[in-house]
Amino acid sequence: MNANWNYPTAIRVGAGRVNELPDLCFEKGIKNPLLVTDTGLAALPMVKEIQALCELAGLSIAVFSQVKSNPTGTNVEEGVDAYRFGQHDGVIALGGGSALDVGKSIAVVAQQECTLWDLEDEGDNWQRAEASKIAPVVALPTTAGTGSEVGRAAVIVREQQQRKVIIFHPNMMPGSVILDPELTTGLSAKLTAATGMDALSHNLEAYCSPFYHPMAQGIAIEGVRLVKNHLPAAVADGFNLEARTQMLVASSMGATAFQRGLGAMHALAHPLGAVYDAHHGMLNAVLMPYVLMANYSAINESAARLASYLELEADFDALMQWVLDLRHRIGIPHALDALISDGERLDEIGEMAVLDSSSMTNPIQYSAEDYAGIARNALNGVL
Ligand SMILES: [Fe+2]
């Protein structure tokens, strides 16, 4: 399963292709990369092996790993300092969504006059950065879920304001990506399930978005099929390289598709994650059927088309039953009470969900009370 693709960016897919990293760096004119990863990964042999591989090929390389699971502005600032101090000429971003987002953020601001926060995703703020000064990035995901390797944005916590800020620049998408399934075999079954369901939620929500973008919709429908056919196998056997490859591809497809927008799963998962510190992918996985049910009147025709493509009965109920069976099979809890301690702040969650940008592209525009109601159904396991 080796392939080279040029859409949405240059992607090399296949087992062992991490070995092409040094050549790829030279091709991009990178001789002195800063490898950005998270603290957990930095302690594993994988990072040392990649570092040794690059050094052996004649690259001068340094590692920056001060990246939290919900990465902060401080993480990016320290990374920028490391980048400037080492006079680096490019970034290798290796890890899950957090490390990839920090790597992309360092590359976008390290050589600019503007600050990271100047590039918050509002209006044409991105024009404050000079595109020619964005450092080249090679991205290597070690999880299959966020699809950040093909995303044009990063989510960074602005500590002083206690909020997640979306940093955006159209040229922020890494110029080169390596999807090597061997980098994901260390992921536990539980995290494989949670991140895989995040990829599914991206594809599903992008598919259901009312925004006119048929190309993205086409990608989403095949992304869902890849998850259906390969997520159970990736969870059952983490060393199944075909399943791992297909899930990496499904994840990249989800993030490509969600240029069409996300929806109520993410509008709720974002504030629930911020308030209760629960895992993003797991939240989407639990919320999925409750949101699909709430959206029924707007999506039942498109759900039937999707179900037909998935070789299920061509109706909404079959799609719903498949989601429920998949969740059960890979160990996702049915109700939100498995993830959050209480429901006391669900009214507040509802208010935050309305303000979340993902709510704009849900097929139905909900009020704060509606969102709180969906979250309460999820909390109590009432479909
Ligand atoms: Fe997500």
Per-residue pLDDT reduced to its tens digit, 26-56: 999 999 999 999 999 999 999 999 999 999 9
Count CB-CB contacts under 10 A for residue 5.
14
| Beta carbons of 13 and 23 less than 8 angstroms apart | no
Nearest alpha-carbon partner for 172 in 207, 214, 136: 136
Give percent of the chain with pLDDT exceeding 90.
Answer: 92
Kindly give the distance from the C-alpha atom of residue 155 to the centroid of ligand 1, in angstroms, as a whole number: 11
Indicate whether 264 pLDDT > 80. yes
Query: Distance, CA 284 to ligand 1 centroid (Å)?
Result: 7
> pTM (2 decimals)?
0.96
Residue 98 CA, ligand 1 centroid: distance in Å: 12
Place of tokens 């925004």: 211
**Taking residues 322-348, what's their average pLDDT?**
96
Three-state SS for 96?
coil
Of 231, 302, 291, 293, the residue nearest 265 (C-alpha):
291
When the pLDDT of each residue in the chain is averaged and rounded to a whole number, the result is 96
Strand ranges, E, within the chain: 3-5, 10-13, 34-36, 62-64, 91-95, 137-141, 153-158, 163-168, 176-179
- Beta-carbon neighbours within 5 Å of ion ligand 1: 198
Ligand 1 centroid–CA 265 distance in Å is: 9
Distance 255 CA to ligand 1 centre (A): 9
Signed CA dihedral, 327, 328, 329, 330: sign only? positive
Instruction: Yes or no: say if 225 and 309 are a contact pair by the CB < 8 Å rule.
Output: yes
CB atoms inside a 10 Å sphere around CB 136:
19
CB 252 within 8 A of CB 345: no
Q: Which of 177, 195, 154 is nearest to 279 (CA)?
A: 195
Q: How confident is the model at residue 164 (pLDDT cuts 50, 70, 90)?
A: confident
- pLDDT above 80: residue 162: no
Question: Per the omega criterion (within 30 degrees of 0), is the bond before 8 cis?
Answer: yes
Tokens of 194: 């949670």
Interval between CA 189 and ligand 1 midpoint (Å): 18
Rounded average pLDDT over 60-70: 94
In this predicted structure, what is the pLDDT of residue 156? Answer: 92
Question: How far away, in angstroms, is 273 Cα from ligand 1 center?
Answer: 11
According to the model, what pLDDT value does residue 88 have? 98
Handedness of CA 95, 97, 102, 103 (dihedral sign): positive
Positive/negative CA dihedral, 105, 110, 114, 117: positive
* Distance from the alpha carbon of residue 202 to the mean position of ligand 1, in angstroms: 6
> What are the CA-CA distances from residue 61 to residues 20, 47, 149, 223 (Å)?
16, 12, 21, 35
What the block records as the tokens of 32 is 């002195």
For residue 295, report the distance from its CA to the centre of ligand 1, in Å.
18
Q: How many CB atoms lie within 10 A of CB 209?
A: 24
Query: Ligand 1 centre and the CA of 85: distance in Å?
Result: 34
Confidence class for position 1, pLDDT limits 50, 70, 90: confident
What's the pLDDT tens digit per position in 285-301?
999 999 999 999 999 99
The distance in angstroms from the start CA to the end CA of the chain is: 40
